[in-house]
Chain A
Amino acid sequence: MQSLPPYLVITVCAIAAIIFGWLEIKRRKRSWIGLRLAAVLIAVVALACIALPLKYNTTRNIDKAQKHILLTPGFAKDSLPTDANIHFYTLDASVKKRMAKAKLLTGLDELGDSIGLHIYGDGLKPYQLEQLEGVPIAFHPSSKPHGVIAASWPEKVKAGDNLQVQGLYNNILNKKIKLTLKGSATALDSVTIEPRSEAKFNLSAKPKATGELVYQLYVDTALQGDVPVQVIPTKTLKVLMLSASPDFETKFLKNWLAGNGYAVAMRTVISKDKYNTEFINLPQANINSLSATILNKFDVVIGDLSVLASLNPAEAAVLKQQINDGGLGVILRADSTDKKTWLQNGFAVDRPSGKEASPGFISIGTQKSRSGKLPVGAAYINHNNGTQALAKTGAKTVAAIAQAGAGKVVFNIVNNSYSWVLGGDKEDYAWYWSALISNAARKAEPDPLKITFSSLPVTGEPVKFNIDRGDSGPILINNERVAPEQSQSVPFLWFADGQTTAPGWQTLQSGGHSALWYAYPGDQWLGIQSAQKIAATTAYQSAHPILSDVTKQIQEKIRIDVPKIYFYMLLLAACTFLWIEAKRLT
């Protein structure tokens, strides 16, 4: 709108003020004359101010220095500064499409020596950050990406165990999302994520085969990423069973272990110094008295409290030494003996008088026995420091575990688990005793190679390996020799770099041992990749920040319009007053 010449506006308004003032003065009623005159004046001045283009002067800081901005996927266009002296770069063709004025780089070295680099979006991968060679950056991260932003599952699962995939899903959409875990083209478990929420999820499936399996996580019908897992067949253990008298619990346990191909030696007292001995899948030996050589052959000893408490001093000492130093595991079965042994330390059994407890489900960790309720009696294990509850019925602990030197001691007060087998519930029986024996058993030979990654291994990009291993020889990744670097603080930790182009299972060999790792296609687990990039870039930024005094600042004078709204309000207020005042009289 063309504004009117100021002098015209002022003249018209002055005349108007005089006329209105004259009219007010001429009025017969003389009350509030001062206020009325003031209101008229204010109204006319406000009218004049609305018509006149009013401005005021101020100063502003501006950055004259050249600014370099690196755009990475995930940046928001409206968060970018709009100054003229900015150079945009990118490494990504898809970013170039969105932001045509950005210069597409083939490598970070093309950036040259800039004083500071501003990074917008998800940031850079660790290997790319290394290429920056300490250039200070200011990172402006994008908001949390959509999708799975964290996920975890064991890389190796024992046969018979559940595969659990846990993670965090950030749903920024306005609709529900269904996460499905699929294996062998069959949906195995699923969970629904509410709209606009960040939710934890926990999916589980029981692998039905051994070997290298690849499960998939689907978001609705789109593949989010592969879930590779190695299912390890169980290795049989050697079990020594000692019992003070023949009973069902021992017999059923022996039969079950033997039926699974385990090596079992059993010694049952049948009279004074007379033993019934049985050897299954084991060479016959004299186990009437325990010695270090005998105990050394076994992974776990299962015994009644009466037997273990009445061992002669020599045997007891050997057992203690084997547990503390050799890592042997012991499972104690409570009975009514009043003799004491050091193995019982820490396990306090309480037996409240009164009604016998009704049968209950047994739970280990988060898992519950499937169908079989077991009458476990009124006794329970009181929690003591140094012990850990292993199995519970309701709130009562029925089996607990304690560390004893290098070995483990499990204290178990369930004496009738065989009734599960009699009731046809072999699965619960196997589950209960597997948990007890697995927890107690002597640790197997160390895993010769354990690989971890600091970021998701993706095809076509450098992969950083963290390898736990005992030897110091060369490492072959996919049959290509790489030079590992030993950690300076942890002697068995080695770092290596590798790369692969084909997705899927890959090999890593070291000192005659070989391990498998999985390379993901670049388009999988995008949320995790983004989250990892943000984390890595943020860490790099805190190590190499742009110091603020480096940039020059220049002040510039500018003129700013006075907002008209205030004058409108004044005019309205003055007119309202005059109107009310006129009404007051009538």
Chain B
Amino acid sequence: MAEQAGLHKIRSLRRRWVTYQVLEVVLFAAYAALYAGAIAYYLISPKLLWGMLIFPVALLLILLVRKPWQMSDKKIAAFLNKEYPELEESTQLLLIPAQQQNTLQQLASAKAAETLSNLNVSHKPFAKKLVFAFIALLVATGFIWAMGKLFHVDKIFYTHDRDVAFCAPEKPEVLLPQVKGVHITITPPAYISRTPFTWDKFNITINENASLRWQVKTNVRVKALSLIFNDIQELKLQPSVDGTEWTGIKQLNKPGFYQVKVDGKLSDLYRIIVLKDAPPIIHIKTPKPYTYIDAGEAQRVNINATVDDDHGIINAQLVATVAKGRGEGVKFTEYKIPFAEEFRGQKTKYELAKLIDLPSLKMEPGDELYFYLQAQDTYHQQSRSDVFRVSIQDTAELLNMTGMVAGSSLKPEFFRSERQIIIDAEQLLKDKDSISVEKFNIRSNNLAIDQKLLRLRYGKYLGEEAEDEIGKGNNDLDNPEDFSNAKKILKEYTDDHDNADDAGLFEPAIKAQLKATLTEMWKAELQLRLYKPAAALPFAFKALRLLKDLQQKSRAYVAKTAYNSPPLKMEKRLSGELDNVTSPTDKQEIKAASDGQAALRTAVAVLQNLKQGTTPNAAQKQSLQLADQKLSENASAQPGVYLPALNAMRRILATSAPKRTDIELVERAIQKSLSPLNTAPSSAQSPADMGLSKQYYKNLKSLNR
């Protein structure tokens, strides 16, 4: 039975080993989770979630790698053999069933079992690693805690989901000793939210027109407690029955600062930051500020816009004005075009889209549309976008002949003008239903030929080569007289590239425009050749417009000849009777505008003296007092910027030996608020040289040569 006991001992040792191993794995997993969790806590988000997630994962991983349960009894036996020589290397015999043992083995195992049962196996070799893991964990915990404390890791790293106050923690508020705490109930204006929220600090940031209810708790019973706003207004708080809880209500619409006054004693300054409601922001993506719809293009405008506000939008609409007519007969019609979206007031951003069909606004070619987008937020602040302009090309104006029929240069019949091509193309489109397809195609092709001829004609101005002769077959060499006339032969068979009359007469800008015209004509011709006169029309119109522009450009402006006055008789000039005219004279006393910042300017030098450790005299104290008033004005306008400085100034005024940091805080605030000194002329000082240099210059008289 001793052998059974020995086997049991070995198994229990194995269990002990496994238990220690698992414990160790748990500790290591905790160690890993602690480090990973700390990094996540400081860098990503201040939550313990990461550490908690990593722990089981790490535990599982290490367990799978180590597999402590795979420890066999044989290994334990081998360990025992190695550690305890009195077992005489026969522990493993205990694992062999008694039936299979030979006599010698039985003897040995019986002896080993006896020794083993008397053996007190130490925990030391099993727990060695466990102790190490435990110490490592302790050290790691201490290290991470110290990191967080010492280096303010929470302040260094900032991620977007932490609020600003978290990354730049403020100094704790200094309260009066009697004041235990405050409870402020802030009710934002109704248009933002109806639900009030509470705040337990004196420094507050509120929406404009929020109403506040202070509940100040005191440690002891006080006689009077009031709030003093911007050094001027006083709000007396009402006590509760026992005199330790004081309440008061006030609506605030301006930034500033306030103090708590308890029985005549004033507290530190607390700031009030007021967030103003911003007007809606409108951004129009399409169309462009100026859109021109050519003839033939769809007369439609697609409006895409976004409207953005901090609290909500209650309305947005397009205000469109159509201008009709020309000259003095312009008529305006105003339309208000709503959007399809429903504005509820809660949503702060809207993507708006609207398709305006111009004919539905009774717009015709030549008319112009002006529109802007108007939006209104929940605070009833309106804002509007820039004015956008859409105009439709006036084809009638383009096709009329005014100003074009000039001079006597009659064109040969085979030229059809661009205008005629357009008219014919429109006629062809009208006739489309009444004529056969072949005829339609033939007419379209003919128009294309006309377009080509016109293009070639204008191409000549650019020095382009003619593809073929237009009009008569020019054959100058028919005349027998010209036989062996070298000039004529050359002219017939060569190109006149260098002919100055043909090319290069125009300015580069005009040439460029002419080229653009030819391109449009090319495109129009292409569409006509494809039997698509409708598609050709926009190009033809554009070509016509460009041509008209070119004609206008070639005109010179000559002003009307002015009236020619007779020459002035100089001897008669200024010779009138002036006896009764008195010389006007004027006398004024104008004082220079006083410098509103004089108090702050004088304080600069005083503060510098203070920094060097001198105690201020009465006049200097006075100037510091004046600067304090000025700073308090600044602080009521911008408490976030100037309030710490004002607090520091009060501390400086209160003590005889102010702190250097306080002085520097005030100096910085003053430097920030001061505008630069005015530049003004002044005379240079002459040196204290007993008039020597003046004498020198008198004798020099360099200009008196």
Question: Which A positions have Cβ atoms within 8 angstroms of B?
Answer: 158-161, 183-186, 206-214, 231, 234-237, 258-262, 270-281, 284, 288, 299, 324-325, 327, 342, 345-346, 386, 402-406, 409, 427, 430-431, 433-438, 441-450, 468-470, 491-492, 503-504
Measured CB to CB, the nearest residue on chain B to A427 is: B679
Cβ-neighbour of B689 out of A272, A433, A446 (below 8 A)? A446
Q: Report if A208-B685 is in contact (Cβ < 8 Å); known contacts: A272-B574, A274-B578.
A: no
A210 touches B590 (CB 8 A): no
Binary A-proximity of B418-434 (CB < 8 A = 1, otherwise 0): 00000000000000000
The proximity string for B residues 267-307 relative to A, scoring 1 for CB distances below 8 Å and 0 otherwise, is 00000000000000000000000000000000000000000
Can you identify 23 A-B contacts, CB atoms within 8 angstroms?
A159-B677, A184-B608, A184-B667, A208-B676, A211-B605, A237-B683, A259-B590, A261-B590, A261-B592, A270-B583, A278-B585, A279-B587, A280-B587, A404-B701, A405-B701, A433-B681, A437-B681, A438-B684, A443-B684, A443-B685, A446-B691, A447-B688, A468-B688
A186 B668 Cβ-Cβ under 8 A:
yes
B585 and A444 form a contact (CB under 8 A): no
Residues of A within 8 Å of B120, CB to CB, are none
Report the separation of the CA atoms of residues A427 and B680 in the bound assembly, to the nearest whole angstrom.
10
Contacts of B491 in A (CB 8 A): none
* A420 vs chain B, min Cβ distance (A): 13
Question: Quick one: given A208-B601, A281-B590, A447-B685, are A234 and B680 in contact (CB under 8 Å)?
Answer: yes
Contact partners of A445 in chain B: CB under 8 A? 685-686
Known contacts A279-B587, A403-B697, A447-B688; decide if A210 and B678 are in contact (CB<8 Å). no
Nearest B residue to A433 by beta-carbon distance?
A: B681
Beyond A184-B607, A186-B672, A278-B588, whether A446 also contacts B685 by CB under 8 A is yes
Residues from chain B with a CB closer than 8 A to the CB of A402 are: 702-703
- Measured in the bound complex, the distance between the Cα atoms of B240 and A284 in whole Å is 73
Q: Hey, which chain B residues are within 8 Å of A386, CB to CB?
A: 702-703
Q: Could you tell me if A492 and B588 are in contact, using CB atoms closer than 8 angstroms?
A: no
B687 interface residue (CB < 8 Å to A): yes
Is B671 interfacial (CB 8 A cutoff)?
Answer: yes
Contact of A492 among B578, B664, B684, B690 (CB under 8 A): B690
Q: Is there a chain A Cβ closer than 8 Å to B586's Cβ?
A: yes
* Contacting pair A213 B608 (CB below 8 A): yes
Q: A208-B604, A275-B583, A443-B694 are in contact. List 17 more A-B contacts (CB 8 A).
A: A160-B680, A208-B675, A208-B677, A213-B605, A235-B683, A237-B682, A272-B575, A274-B583, A277-B585, A327-B694, A405-B698, A406-B698, A430-B680, A434-B679, A434-B681, A438-B682, A443-B683
- Residues of B582-631 whose CB lies within 8 A of A: 583-593, 600-602, 604-605, 607-608, 612, 614
Chain B residues in 8 Å Cβ range of A274: 578, 581, 583
CB distance from B166 to the nearest CB of A (A): 28
Task: Check B704–A404 contact: CB distance below 8 A.
Answer: yes
Least CB separation from B691: chain A residue: A446
Chain B residues whose C-beta falls within 8 Å of the C-beta of A183 in the assembled complex: 671
The 9 closest A-B pairs by CB, nearest first: A261-B592, A437-B681, A185-B664, A160-B679, A209-B604, A441-B683, A443-B686, A184-B667, A209-B601
User: How far is B607's CA from A442's CA once the two chains are assembled, in angstroms?
Assistant: 36
What size tier do the contact residues of chain B reach?
35 or more
Contact A159–B697 (Cβ < 8 Å)? no
Which of A209, A281, A299, A436 has the most C-beta atoms of chain B within 10 angstroms of its own C-beta?
A209
Q: How far is the CB of B695 from chain A (nearest CB, A)?
A: 9
Residues of B within 8 A of A209 (CB): 600-602, 604-605, 674, 677
How far apart sit A259 and B593, CA to CA, in the bound complex (Å)? Answer: 7
Q: Does B179 touch A at the CB level, under 8 Å?
A: no
| B649 CB, min distance to chain A CBs, angstroms | 14
Quick check: is B700 within 8 A (CB to CB) of the other chain? yes
Q: Let me know if B687 and A206 touch, CB within 8 A.
A: no
Q: How far apart sit A406 and B699, CA to CA, in the bound complex (Å)?
A: 8
Decide if A235 touches B605 in the complex (CB within 8 Å).
no
Instruction: Give complex CA distance A148, B588 in Å.
Output: 53
Cβ contacts under 8 Å, B604 to chain A: 184, 208-209, 211, 213
Q: How far is the CA of A292 from the CA of B690 in the complex (A)?
A: 24
Check if B670 is an interface residue, CB within 8 A of chain A: yes
Expressed in whole angstroms, the Cα–Cα distance for A504 and B608 within the complex equals: 10
Proximity string of chain B (374-389) to chain A, C-beta cutoff 8 Å, 1 when within and 0 when not: 0000000000000000
Residues A271 and B674 in contact in the complex (CB < 8 Å), given A259-B590, A403-B700? no
Contact among B585, B671, B683, B698 for A276, CB-based, below 8 A: B585
Is B671 a contact partner of A186 (Cβ separation < 8 A)?
yes
Assembly CA distance A203 to B583 (angstroms): 53
Tell me if B602 and A211 are in contact (CB < 8 A): yes
Complex Cα–Cα for A249 and B176 (A): 62
In the complex with contacts A277-B583, A406-B694, A449-B688 CB distance below 8 A: yes
| Chain A residue nearest to B573 in the complex (CB) | A272
